[in-house]
Amino acid sequence: MTAAKQNEAAKQDEKVRDFFNRISDGYSEKYSEHNPFHHWYFNERLHTATGEGKIDFNGKTILDIGTGTGALYDFLTAKGFSRMTFIGCDVAEQMTEATRLPKENRFTGHCYEIVFPIKRFDYVFVLGVTTYMDGTERDRTFDFIQRSLSEEGTAVISFTNKASLDQISHSIARPFLRVFQARNRVSGQSFRTYSYTKKQIRELLDKRFRFEKLIDINQTVFPFNHLFPRSAIRVARFIQRIIPGSRLLHFLSAECLAVLKARTAGRPAPETVPGAPLLLEGLGAADSYLTTDAPLVPEERETSGLAPAGNGKERGSIG
């Protein structure tokens, strides 16, 4: 990478980090039931990403890259998964400080620069994050995920849909929003955002992972979703029912969700960094995505140095 590109990447990283640190206070409230459309939008992503209730996460190791204020952690603990080992990381320190995640389970920085107490994860989630990653950061993140998945591990990564009507509308509106300085909105910021076509997503991921599926999620159109939020939710649900799997659905979907499996078979079971506890001793490979036949998990699991789910500071769940 040239010095100019390094400088550009550093500025992008700094702007994104500063923005999310600035809006961290009350960020989770933005996606609460008081804001109906954002609540639906955010939870639609979480619901789909976690297998629509068909996966047992108890006994699993989970890494949430770009954990923010801990929405995924809140969502899963609200569903009763108290025996998972959940680790979250984010570049914005003030976002992670606002989570319910125990302090020892949250990390600040880029995932590829952090020494986690676990080397292999059953599930790795990257939700709502690739939009802010330049090419170098994105590739380093994907390389990290590739080498950090357990033998049958699953990665779930969301992308902003470049071909969507919502993205087209945002692209048109963004220059005006910048003029009016929408300080607490992504569209009003000076940092770059990134969107992808289905072809681009496959080209990025096929060389690193085994593709399971690409799901169209969050049917929405800006600014209709802000002006008439409850009507926007009803329209989105109607669209999901009448045109599932169609090109029109893809055009109306703001995001694509990629579900991936580790490409290389025969890896050893999840292991830890020297000196850290072996978390998954005795467990087999992770469940296949969307399976309903979850294996039994041990009744007791001791994890020295990492807190079990549900032991963070109390705060209202987003889920």
pLDDT in tens, 172-215: 776 666 656 556 666 657 788 999 999 999 999 999 999 999 99
| Residue predicted with more confidence, 246 or 87 | 87
Give the pair of three-digit tokens for residue 307. Answer: 């807190």
| Residue predicted with more confidence, 246 or 86 | 86
Q: What is the mean pLDDT of residues 226-235?
A: 76
CATH homologous superfamily of domain 17-262?
A: Vaccinia Virus protein VP39 (3.40.50.150)
The pTM for the full model equals: 0.79
Give the pair of three-digit tokens for residue 18. Answer: 């500063």
- Using 50, 70 and 90 to split pLDDT, how confident is the model at 300? very low
pLDDT value at position 316?
36
Tell me: pLDDT of 247 over 70: yes
- Using 50, 70 and 90 to split pLDDT, how confident is the model at 234? confident
Report the C-alpha gap between 180 and 5 in whole angstroms: 29
Long-range (24+ apart) CB contacts under 8 A made by 230-233 are 230/36, 230/37, 232/37, 233/36, 233/37, 233/40
SS3 assignment, position 162 = coil
Average pLDDT taken over every residue of the chain: 81
Q: Which residues contact 150 (CB under 8 A, 6 or more apart)?
A: 61, 120, 121, 122, 262, 267, 269, 270, 280, 285, 286
Q: What strand order describes the sheet that includes 85-90?
A: 106-108, 85-90, 61-65, 121-126, 149-160, 253-262, 209-219
- Using 50, 70 and 90 to split pLDDT, how confident is the model at 305? low
Lowest pLDDT segment from 31-35, 83-87, 93-97, 178-182:
178-182
- Using 50, 70 and 90 to split pLDDT, how confident is the model at 281? very low
CB 49 within 8 A of CB 289: no
What are the domain boundaries of the chain? Answer: 17-262
φ/ψ of residue 267, rounded to 5: -70, 155
Tell me: pLDDT of 274 over 50: no
- Using 50, 70 and 90 to split pLDDT, how confident is the model at 293? very low
pLDDT value at position 166?
84
What DSSP character marks residue 35? S
- Using 50, 70 and 90 to split pLDDT, how confident is the model at 279? very low
Tell me: pLDDT of 275 over 60: no
Cα end-to-end distance, the chain, whole Å: 41
CB 163 within 8 A of CB 175: no
